[in-house]
Each structure stands twice: as structure tokens, then as C-alpha cells.
Amino acid sequence: MKNNIKELREQCNISQGKLAERCDVTRQTINAIENNKYDPSLKLAFDIARVLGVTMEELFIPYGNGEK
């Protein structure tokens, strides 16, 4: 699933490391999500949305009808 995490993170002036720290994951996890190599769990997706102050719809872009 595509996402806008990188753009939104840069708008908030937050580094990958800082976002990872606030979401209690490693920087590699955030990097993998931003590069569409890994789809986060629901909990982590909500954590990222909360830290960036956005909704889930703003954060993730489903392909087609929500399919991968």
C-alpha cells in the first residue's frame, strides 16, 4: 500500500529516527514503510497518524479498490 508518510513527516520537520522513537519502532521500520517495502500493522499505522497529526486516509493510499 502506498503512503504519504515521507511528505507528511517532512512537513512536520520530523526525522525518520524521531518518528521511529515516538512510535516505539526502529528507524529501519519507518524507512521500509516509506519505501513501500513493508505494510505496517494497524497499531503502528495509528501511532504514525497520531504522531504526524493526520488521519489514516491522509496517510495511506490504497491501490484500486483498496486492494494491494
Contact mark string toward other proteins, 35..54, x via CB under 8 A: ---x-xx--x----------
Q: Tell me the three state secondary structure of residue 20.
A: helix
Q: Closest Cα to residue 21, out of 32, 10, 30?
A: 30
Residue 4 interacting with other proteins (CB under 8 A)? no
> Measured from the CB of residue 41, what is the shortest distance to other proteins in angstroms?
5
Q: Closest Cα to residue 62, out of 2, 19, 14?
A: 2
Q: Which residues bind other proteins (CB under 8 A)?
A: 24-26, 28-29, 32, 38, 40-41, 44
